[in-house]
């Protein structure tokens, strides 16, 4: 067993042990009392119930696809490979599901403890929330490393050659992607349907405030934060770490003559060091009560980035012996920082874009919508400039190594650099729904003014970290696209993809169309699921007058149940579309056309996701800026227009946009796993 593999497995176990330690620490915190516990209980039950049912649906789909994979490969005379691909597929799916489940269970016990701590100390509350998020982040990265290095290890036991193994485990990435797609779609539909349903009947029709306990959909709304942001994005980044590792390992095969097995295992080792850096980064967050929350969190991020960069240098020199790949890795780290800044520029109220939306809210709903949409379209320019520069730079740096195939490996190194801080970024992401929930719990249990101020501050920081993570997830998808695409070409033994061929052109057309159609269905799914909830909330208000009077309790669990069913039902169509169209194209038009679909689908997917995420974030903050008392404040015509924009932006940024990142990566892993069929 290669020492690199031992180290990777050991680092993953350290990560898991650290996560267990964090869970133990969290469990020892105070849980609050009375109403707080009761509400937290509702959220926990709703979230777990959703996850269980969602996992059942995903399990059935995954099992069906695994059998289909086996059957297709088997019937084309390759039972062994079919078995290998489908086993890895099931394993990848299972690891992703498990990581998501653990992360969410921890989030729903951390929320109430964060709320309780907020009653006494801001710094304590921030620390607890970040630790809860860190469990998610660390478990996800560790599980993906355990899964891949474990599979690799098993194949070495069976005596397989180092260079043949990466192709055998591509199913792992596909399984992870498939779970991620449905987790993000289902969670995204759930969270926005509940949000829209709660707001539309609660805030607009009956005029009760946000998070009012009389609103029957309020618990579903709080559950939604967990299943969408926490479980959904967790699965997204689990998939990133898995798919991109495998893609980079495949490119390592090309450089086998130079690097030997080191080139194949380098991605795993680099990621293991990234995991350890993230752990130290989490420990480095020691907020004071006077701190701004983002300042404390950024400190941890900087520590993580610095340690990741330093360790990247040593790993590169040790394993590859060429400093050029370290530079390429630095490009990746810088790219992730650039994305963080782009996201901030386009979504924070102190810069031009949000100001423009705010101003156009004064002239009405339509001008607000147009302004937000055009901001979204505009920000693709910065995204493309960053990605293009990063890709060219990483490629040229890799070429400078002088090895044949070094250019491509440079892009792989850059992707590894970008993903080095993934565990810490994920920790900040899962911090978002925890603080959001903590705020909701305080609100619903009638917390005092001082506590609310603390949870509001944490909540605002959570909104920022959620937006940053989306930018990061999108950036990594974009950078990894070329990597996965190149890995696909390796697998199908294509040297070129000729756009001048009519079938490749059509493949490209279909790829772009898939992105648009998928988004259409994702948006519509939210509307449909929301309509079920709206009806239910209206029914409860109508049939039980005691709810509004505050004498009767609404039936929260009924709303949770209906949202769950609705979201799971509506996720099927867009999800299956994402699988069927590329497979159909591959079988009908062949490997080269599928390469066209993959690349153009990726390009368009990255751009449309950018539009949706950033427009959504900008609309949201434009509304918040007006609510802070500008342009007439709450209830003014400008505010009403801003609410429209925010509501349009909700399914953009929390359903369709994030699902598109996943779709882009799914296209990569799916075509990799099925490559042998298209040749």
Nearer to a second copy, 57 or 374 (CB): 374
Give the x/- contact pattern for a second copy in 472-511, rule: CB under 8 A: ----------x--xx--x----xxxxxxx-xxxxx-xxx-
163 interacts with a second copy by CB under 8 A: no
Lookup result for tokens 């539009």:
611
Helical axes 380-400 vs 449-492, angle rounded to 10°: 50
> Which residues 6+ apart lie within 8 Å of 449 measured at CB?
none
Output DSSP code: residue 284.
T
> How far apart are the C-alpha atoms of 5 and 116, rounded to whole Å?
42
Q: By CB under 8 A, what part of segment 609-648 binds a second copy?
A: 611, 643-648
590 interacts with a second copy by CB under 8 A: no
Nearer to a second copy, 11 or 600 (CB): 600
Instruction: Using the rule CB under 8 A, give the single segment among 37-45, 76-84, 344-352, 602-610 that binds a second copy.
Output: 602-610
Among 57, 344, 367, 636, binds a second copy (CB under 8 A): 367
Among 519, 540, 594, 613, binds a second copy (CB under 8 A): 519
Please state the closest distance from residue 163 (CB atom) to a second copy, in A: 21
> DSSP readout, 226-268?
IIIIIIIHHHHHHHHHHHHHHHHHHHHHHTHHHHTHHHHHHHH
- How large is the C-alpha radius of gyration of the chain? 24
Nearer to a second copy, 213 or 574 (CB): 574
Lookup result for tokens 């990621």:
271
Ramachandran bin of 136, using left for φ above 0, alpha for ψ from -120 to 50, beta for the remaining angles:
alpha
Please state the closest distance from residue 202 (CB atom) to a second copy, in A: 14
Please state the closest distance from residue 228 (CB atom) to a second copy, in A: 17
Please state the closest distance from residue 203 (CB atom) to a second copy, in A: 11
CB 407, CB 396: distance < 8 Å: yes
Nearer to a second copy, 103 or 407 (CB): 407
Among 371, 423, 442, 560, binds a second copy (CB under 8 A): 371
596 interacts with a second copy by CB under 8 A: yes
**Beta-carbon count within 10 A of 28 CB:** 8
41 interacts with a second copy by CB under 8 A: no
> DSSP readout, 134-172?
HHHHHHHHHHHHHHHHHHHHHHHHTT--GGGHHHHTHHH
> DSSP readout, 304-350?
HHHHHHHHHHHHHHHHT--HHHHHHHHHHHHHHHHHHHHHHHHHSTT
Give the x/- contact pattern for a second copy in 58-97, rule: CB under 8 A: ----------------------------------------
Please state the closest distance from residue 524 (CB atom) to a second copy, in A: 5
Q: By CB under 8 A, what part of segment 332-361 binds a second copy?
A: 360
675 interacts with a second copy by CB under 8 A: no
> How far apart are the C-alpha atoms of 582 and 481, rounded to whole Å?
16
Look up residue 116 and give its two tokens: 């309780």
> How far apart are the C-alpha atoms of 578 and 667, rounded to whole Å?
8
Among 527, 544, 630, 636, binds a second copy (CB under 8 A): 527
> How far apart are the C-alpha atoms of 139 and 20, rounded to whole Å?
9
Among 400, 460, 517, 573, binds a second copy (CB under 8 A): 517
Q: 654, 461, 540, 455: which is closest to 218 by C-alpha?
A: 540
Give the x/- contact pattern for a second copy in 532-551, rule: CB under 8 A: --x-----------------
Please state the closest distance from residue 380 (CB atom) to a second copy, in A: 4
Question: CA of 600: how far to CAs of 306, 339, 607, in Å?
Answer: 35, 21, 11
255 interacts with a second copy by CB under 8 A: no
Q: By CB under 8 A, what part of segment 201-220 binds a second copy?
A: 204
Please state the closest distance from residue 132 (CB atom) to a second copy, in A: 32
Q: By CB under 8 A, what part of segment 397-426 binds a second copy?
A: 407, 411
């Amino acid at each position: 067993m290669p020492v690199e593999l031992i180290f990777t497995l050991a680092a993953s176990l350290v990560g898991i042990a650290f996560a267990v330690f964090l869970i133990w620490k969290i469990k020892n915190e105070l849980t609050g009392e009375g109403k707080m516990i009761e509400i937290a209980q509702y959220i926990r039950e709703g979230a777990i119930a959703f996850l269980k049912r969602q996992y059942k649906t995903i399990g059935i789909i995954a099992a069906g696809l695994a059998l289909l994979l086996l059957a297709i490969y088997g019937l084309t005379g390759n039972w062994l490979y079919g078995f290998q691909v489908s086993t890895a597929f099931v394993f990848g799916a299972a690891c992703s599901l498990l990581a998501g489940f653990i992360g969410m269970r921890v989030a729903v016990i951390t929320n109430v403890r964060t709320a309780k701590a907020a009653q006494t100390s801001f710094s304590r509350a921030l620390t607890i929330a970040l630790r809860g998020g860190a469990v998610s982040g660390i478990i996800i990265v560790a599980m993906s490393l355990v899964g891949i290095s474990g599979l690799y290890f098993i194949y070495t036991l069976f005596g397989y050659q180092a260079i043949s193994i990466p192709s055998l485990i591509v199913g792992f990435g596909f399984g992870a992607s498939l779970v991620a797609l449905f987790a993000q779609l289902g969670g995204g539909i759930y969270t926005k349907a509940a949000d829209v349903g709660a707001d539309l009947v609660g805030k607009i029709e009956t005029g009760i405030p946000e998070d009012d306990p009389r609103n029957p959909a309020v618990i579903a709304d709080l559950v939604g934060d967990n299943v969408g942001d926490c479980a959904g994005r967790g699965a997204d980044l689990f998939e990133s770490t898995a798919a991109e590792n495998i893609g980079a390992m495949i490119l390592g095969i090309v450089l086998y003559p130079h690097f030997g097995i080191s080139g194949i295992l380098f991605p795993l080792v680099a990621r293991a060091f990234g995991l350890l850096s993230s752990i130290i980064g989490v420990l480095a967050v020691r907020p004071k009560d006077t701190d701004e929350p983002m300042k404390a969190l950024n400190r941890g991020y900087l520590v993580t980035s610095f340690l990741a960069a330093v360790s990247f240098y040593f790993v590169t020199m040790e394993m590859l012996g060429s400093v050029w790949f370290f530079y390429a890795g630095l490009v990746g780290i810088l790219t992730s920082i650039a994305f963080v800044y782009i996201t901030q520029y386009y979504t924070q109220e102190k810069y031009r874009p949000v100001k423009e939306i705010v101003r156009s809210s004064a002239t009405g709903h339509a001008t607000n919508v147009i302004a937000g949409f055009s901001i979204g379209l505009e920000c693709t320019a910065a995204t493309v400039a960053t990605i293009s520069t990063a890709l060219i730079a990483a490629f040229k740096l890799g070429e400078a190594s002088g090895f044949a195939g070094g250019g491509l490996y440079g892009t792989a190194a850059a992707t590894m650099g970008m993903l080095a801080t993934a565990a810490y970024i994920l920790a900040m992401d899962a911090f978002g729904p925890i603080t959001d929930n903590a705020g909701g719990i305080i609100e619903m249990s009638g917390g005092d003014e001082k506590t609310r101020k603390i949870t509001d501050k944490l909540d605002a920081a959570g909104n920022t970290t959620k937006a940053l993570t989306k930018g990061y997830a999108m950036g990594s998808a974009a950078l990894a696209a070329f990597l996965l695409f190149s890995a696909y070409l390796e697998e199908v033994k294509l040297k070129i993809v000729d756009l001048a061929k009519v079938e490749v052109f059509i493949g490209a057309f279909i790829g772009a169309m898939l992105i648009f159609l998928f988004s259409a269905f994702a948006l519509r799914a939210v509307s449909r699921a929301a309509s079920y909830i709206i009806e239910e909330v209206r029914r409860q208000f109508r049939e039980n007058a005691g709810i509004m009077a505050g004498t009767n309790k609404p039936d929260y669990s009924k709303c949770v149940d209906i949202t769950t069913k609705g979201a799971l039902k509506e996720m099927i169509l867009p999800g299956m579309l994402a699988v069927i169209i590329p497979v159909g194209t591959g079988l009908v038009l062949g490997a080269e056309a599928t390469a066209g679909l993959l690349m153009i689908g990726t390009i368009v997917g990255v751009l449309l996701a950018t539009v949706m995420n950033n427009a959504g974030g900008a609309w949201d903050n434009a509304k918040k800026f007006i609510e802070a008392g500008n342009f007439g404040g709450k209830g003014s015509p400008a505010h009403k227009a801003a609410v429209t924009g925010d509501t349009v932006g909700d399914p953009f940024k929390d359903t369709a946009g994030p699902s598109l990142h996943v779709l882009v990566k799914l296209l990569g892993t799916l075509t990799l796993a099925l490559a042998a069929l298209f040749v």
